[in-house]
Amino acid sequence: MIHIAIFASGSGSNAENIAEYFRGHADIRVALILSNNPGAYVHERAKKLGIPTHTFSKAAFDEGSAVLDTLRAYKTDYIVLAGFLLKVSKPLLDAYPRRIVNIHPALLPKYGGKGMYGEKVHRAVVEAGETRSGITIHYVNENYDEGDIIFQASCEVSPGDAPEEVARKVHELEYAYFPRVIEAVIKSQYSLNPFSLPEKEGKEG
Ligand code: GAR
């Protein structure tokens, strides 16, 4: 069984959607949800889903060892960032090469980088008069939103669309594609050597 850990800083609607998608999956499951924000709504969602959560400070995240211990305790194979605000630190990048995937709510390389998060991104898109926006799913490297792009999908931005409307359209794309792209990434990496798939665990695994 491949174990995913999801990192989320806020509402966690993507985290929930991903966990639902993999519920009952033969080879992949969401084992853990982590957050830097103890007040984030993602904790409520995790509770309802029966998925354990772990909260850490920015300092602990940057230093890495406690977060890595937790990830290892849950036998984490892949990390998914779903609305996660902090920059991923070197210890995590080294421990999970090409195994950390992020979603960004715009068509990178536009509207990315430090501070470009959620609502701010959609406001910038509307203010620039863009006619399209969308999602970018990419591997994570040491810079914000600069890792290799895995997948993009776009939607129309109509004249008069408020940032909230763009957010709604982008969220729809996220829900439709993010879980399937995660599954494809994992399967493509394991299909190079199908015998390397970790052993299945017990019934509850
Ligand atoms: C999502 O739209 C995600 O793409 C975005 O935050 C939102 C989180 O929503 N991520 C970023 O902006 C990262 N720079 P959610 O908490 O409901 O899943």
Which ligand 1 atom is at minimum distance from the Cα of 8?
A: 16
Residues recorded for the chain:
205
Q: What is the pTM of this model?
A: 0.93
Residues annotated as part of the active site: 104
In a domain, 113, yes or no: yes
- Asked if residue 8 lies in contact with residue 14, where contact means CB atoms within 8 angstroms, the answer is yes
Q: What is the mean pLDDT of residues 173-202?
A: 80
On the question of pLDDT at 205 being above 50, the answer is no
* Distance (Å, whole) CA 138 – CA 104: 8
Provide the CATH number for the domain around residue 117.
3.40.50.170
Q: Is residue 68 assigned to a domain?
A: yes
Average pLDDT of the chain to the nearest whole number? 94
* Any domain includes 17: yes
Q: Specify if 195 maps to a domain.
A: no
Say what the pLDDT of residue 204 is. Answer: 44
Ligand 1 pocket: which of 171, 172, 181 to mutate (most atoms <8 Å of CB)? 171
The answer to the question of residue 201 being in a domain is: no
Q: Which domain holds residue 110?
A: 2-189
163 Cβ closer than 6 Å to some ligand 1 atom: no
Q: Is 196 a member of any domain? A: no
Name which of 63, 66, 85 is nearest 54 in CA terms: 66
CA–chain centroid gap for 126, Å, is 24
Number of domains present in the structure of the chain: 1
